[in-house]
Structures are given as C-alpha cells and as structure tokens.
Structure 1
Amino acid sequence: MPTLNIVGAGHVARVLGRLFHAHAAFTVQQVLARSPASAGCGVDFIAAGSAADYTGLRPADCYMLAVTDDQIGPACEALAAAVPLAGAVVFHCSGALASDQLLAARAAGAHVASVHPIRSFADPEAVAAAFAGTFCGIEGDAAALALLMPALEAIGARPVVIDAAAKTVYHAAAVFASNYLVTVLDAALRAYQAAGIPEPVARELARPLAQESLSNVFRLGAAPALSGPIARGDLATVARQQAAVAAWDAATGALYEALVPPTQALAARKQGG
C-alpha cells in the first residue's frame, strides 16, 4: 500500500485517516498537528501511525493537508522544506481553494490535488461510520488523481471531478443549496408572522411548500419544478407583492426584488424546455 502522512488532526483528518487505514487504501505512517497532544489524539482516532513533527518526518508516497484554509500555504512550505517531494502526491481538503495553492509542493516536484468531502464533520465517529456514498469534489494533476481516485472509492466515497478554475463557484454552490436556502425560508417565516400568524404555525405552513419544492427540484430539475406567479407570467401580482414586502421590510423587499430576474430566467427555461 502507498504510505500516507497527514498534516492536521482535526475532524476531517481523523475521519479520512481512519477510513484510509481501515480500508487498506493507504498505510498511515505519521500524523502532524499543532501540538504533540493533538497529533496523539489523531493517531488514537485513526488507530494507525505515529505522532510526529516536521523535524522527524519521514518521506511518504502521499501527504494530506487537512488544515484550515489560511494554513494550507504555510503547511505546504514547511512540508517542502522537511522532506523530498519529487514524485509524491500532496493534496489538501479545502472546499474553497484549488490545488494551485500547493505551490511549494509543485515546485518541489510533487503532483498536487484537492479533495473536498461534501458533508458536515461535526461528529467524527458518526461520519466515519456512515461515510459510504459521500460525494467528494476532486481536482488536480493527473498523476495525483490516479492515486487518489481509487483510494477514495475504496472508502466508499463518490469522487466528482471539478474544474479547478471554478473551485470558488463550486464552493458557493453549497452556500446556495444550504445557507441561502435557510435565508429565503426565514424570509417566508417572517412574512407569515407579519400577516399575524404565530411562528410555530408559520413553520407548519411553510413546511409542505418547501419540502414539495425541494422534492420536485431533485426529482425533475429546477426549471420543471418552478411554480407560482412568475412561472405563470403574472407580473402584476409579482409587482404588488414586491411593493407590499418592501413597505413591510425594506431588506426583505430588496431580497424579493433580487430574486425576480433569476426566477424569470428560470421560467423562460421551463417554457423553452
């Protein structure tokens, strides 16, 4: 098995390290972290390898940088200064940054990549137990992907190759699908409350609408799932709603207004499809 050194001992490092070891995708060799205690905890969770620092680092076939985004560059530079990297694979786990952040490793002759597991790691034990089927956005050098793709498939991941130049847009997709969805639903709940409906009841009113819409999007696609006044071409109703919402709450009115043009474009796709 190829050897793996892990830089970082947080939740992502621990889960992937344990899975790579348990499924014989890599031989976990060493774990580095901010402190020896943290590295030791990582080794204990992974159940393989030994704690180390850069001065005692041994060469490996592959290096995983599971550190915060602002530490990817410095960690990569420290790695390149500590061990020969020519021919090795170095990858990071950021969802927002591409593999081009691993400049020092590439300059040292390494093949670089990024691997972003698309899920929450809040509970490492639970994630490690139910990781199979997890999508991973992956991009990088061909030689790096040739090593990482089978390793990810061995732990039950579903690798999806993405365009490195669009890595930030890729990460924003998760914000649209999760964070901004919550913001829009909050606007709906507050609007119900503005009409005199108690908040718990507002949630029950919004629930079937939101759940059916989500179900339709994932079953049919976004354009076929669109309904409502814009989909019907009832722009008079849209104008009245926009004015009423703006009069009630200016910020929510601006949100409503901003959503009209992309929803009209979506309606055009629906009609054209």
Structure 2
Amino acid sequence: MRATDAETPAASLNLIGAGHVGRVLGRLFAQHGAFALQQVLTRSVDSARQAVAFIGAGQVASAYDQLLPAAVHLLAVGDDQIVAASEALARAVPLRDSVVFHCSGALASDRLQAARDAGALVASVHPVRSFADPAAVAAQFAGTFCGVEGDAGALAVLTPALQAIGAQPVPIDAAAKTVYHAAAVFASNYLVTVLDAALRAYQAAGIPEPVARQLAQPLASESMANVFRLGAAAALSGPIARGDMATVARQQQAVSQWDPDTGALYQSLVAPTTDLARRKQRK
C-alpha cells in the first residue's frame, strides 16, 4: 500500500478518534506514504483540528455522515467505544472491500462485526509501547512491535503499511487477545506491584526508602537482564530454586505477620515459582 511512484497513489485513510495513538499512527502513515490521510473525525471539531495539525495532513469531519468512502478506516477510540464506532461507520459510508481496524490491546477484531457485516475486512493492530508523549513516540517509533490479528485480506493491506513506518508486526491468536494483553500487565504493572512489596519490606526492616531502592535496583535489574538473556527458568534463583522450602515457610509467616495483604501476595507467588523451579531442573 506504500506509494512507489506517481502512478501508484497511497490508499486513502479515514481516522476516527485522534487520541495519542491515533495521532501518532496518522502522522507516521502520512509521512511515510503508507496511506493518504483523508479525514479525521473526533468527538469535537477542535480536537480534530488539533489532530490534523499534529499529523500534518487530512481534513476535519464533524460527523460520521460527513465522512467520504475510504480504502482504510482506523478506529482509534477507547475500548468502550469500538462497537458503537463500528456501527456508526457502517451506517455512514459504504464499507464493502475496505479495511476497518482498531488499536485495542485487550479486544479482538470481532468487535468490528458491524463493519464486517457491511462488507469490510477487519483487524486489530496493537502497538506495544507507551504513548504518553506522542511527538517523541512518532520520532522514535521504528522497531515498535505491533500485535496484529484479523481477516487475512485486512492484514495483507496493514502489514506492509506497518512495516513502512518501521513497525514489527507480530501475529497473535484472536481467541487469546485478552491473555495477550494480560501479558503486558504482568510485564509492566504487576512487576511494579511486586517491586513495591520489596521496597516496603526493606523499610519494615528499618531501611530508609531511598536506600531501599538502591538495594533493590541491582537485584531487579540483574534478574530482568537474565530473564531476557537466558529465559525465565534459567534466571530463577533464591530459596525456591534451591528447594529450601523451610526458608520460604518462615518468610511467609513473617511477611504475613508484618502485613497480611503482602503475605497473601507472597503466598500467591510460591506455587508458580515452584513450577518455574521444576522447569529449571528439567533443563
């Protein structure tokens, strides 16, 4: 879908919803000639104008009935708005043989059933990174992994467009989309929760919080580096990896006495860590 010469124009793209993700993808698709941005529709005309200014291309649409037909429609809306946006789009413009996709990490392309019923090919594309600073992300997007799933015809259009902007598309199982998104929660959000427990436990032992962070950082950093270098099983160390369950039991009791909620967290991690230790022994 990337324009290669004057006789091969880029396919037209309508952008519905222009938060951080929509703005970044809109700018990159337009800059790299992957798609020709046609119209931008958001909840307000002002936000659509701001998005067009950020992207550097496209025209403002103030309502679905102002949208023109396009080869591709990107629904960069909140998860709770995807179904409604798909239905509104299907009512407003002809979708037969077009591509409609959304960017949710938690929801699959089946949420676009209204567009599919109208003849569109549907997909989802989830860029695996934070979009807190859109300008910085747009400038450093190359190499970003994107989880993709959906109709084969839609992915045949979207995959080269994503590659044109420097993304690395990774096919995922649509039936496991929620589990896929939970993986990011484990790798990011829950990791922070576990580290918070470590910092609070250090402080319970009388260590000031700034010093606690200094103590935890090399342990956490080296463990993470080993996981990504060697794999999780090989990186595991500590009492469970050594089979020292007596120490684990003492720690469980002590942590529970100090803070019952943190004790419950500790206990919940014993079984999966024991299973990980078994995998390490088998290698």
Tell me whether the two structures share a fold, i.e. TM-score over 0.5: yes
Instruction: Report the counterpart of residue 234 of structure 1 in structure 2.
Output: 244
TM-fit CA distance, 1:103: 1.0
Instruction: Report the counterpart of residue 7 of structure 2 in structure 1.
Output: none
1:208 partnered with 2:218 = yes
Query: Following superposition of structure 1 onto structure 2, how do residues 28-43 of structure 1 map, counting pairs within 5 Å?
Result: 28-43=37-52
Q: Match of 1:197, as an amino acid?
A: I
TM-fit CA distance, 1:55: 1.6
Q: Match of 1:168, as an amino acid?
A: T
1:2 partnered with 2:11 = yes
In the alignment, the residues of structure 2 paired with residue 218 and residue 207 of structure 1 have an alpha-carbon distance, to the nearest angstrom, of 17
Instruction: Report the counterpart of residue 161 of structure 1 in structure 2.
Output: 171
In the alignment, the residues of structure 2 paired with residue 198 and residue 227 of structure 1 have an alpha-carbon distance, to the nearest angstrom, of 26
TM-fit CA distance, 1:211: 0.3
Which residue, out of 76, 85, 97, partners 2:86? 76
1:192 partnered with 2:192 = no
TM-score (norm 1): 0.99
Query: Following superposition of structure 1 onto structure 2, how do residues 93-132 of structure 1 map, counting pairs within 5 Å?
Result: 93-132=103-142
Q: How many residues align?
A: 273
8 Å contact 2:65–2:93 — kept in the other structure?
A: no
Instruction: Report the counterpart of residue 57 of structure 2 in structure 1.
Output: 48
Instruction: Report the counterpart of residue 100 of structure 2 in structure 1.
Output: 90
Runs of 4+ in 1 over 2 A off after TM superposition: none
8 Å contact 1:2–1:27 — kept in the other structure?
A: yes
1:179 partnered with 2:203 = no
Instruction: Report the counterpart of residue 134 of structure 1 in structure 2.
Output: 144
Q: Match of 2:77, as an amino acid?
A: V
1:24 partnered with 2:33 = yes
Q: Match of 2:138, as an amino acid?
A: A
In the alignment, the residues of structure 1 paired with residue 222 and residue 136 of structure 2 have an alpha-carbon distance, to the nearest angstrom, of 28
In the alignment, the residues of structure 2 paired with residue 131 and residue 79 of structure 1 have an alpha-carbon distance, to the nearest angstrom, of 28
8 Å contact 1:134–1:158 — kept in the other structure?
A: yes
In the alignment, the residues of structure 1 paired with residue 223 and residue 64 of structure 2 have an alpha-carbon distance, to the nearest angstrom, of 51
TM-fit CA distance, 1:245: 0.6
TM-score (norm 2): 0.96
8 Å contact 1:9–1:41 — kept in the other structure?
A: no
- Residue deviations 1:8-49 (CA, integer Å, cap 9, x gap): 111111100000000000010000000111111111111111
Instruction: Report the counterpart of residue 3 of structure 2 in structure 1.
Output: none
Report the identity percentage. 74
TM-fit CA distance, 1:120: 0.8
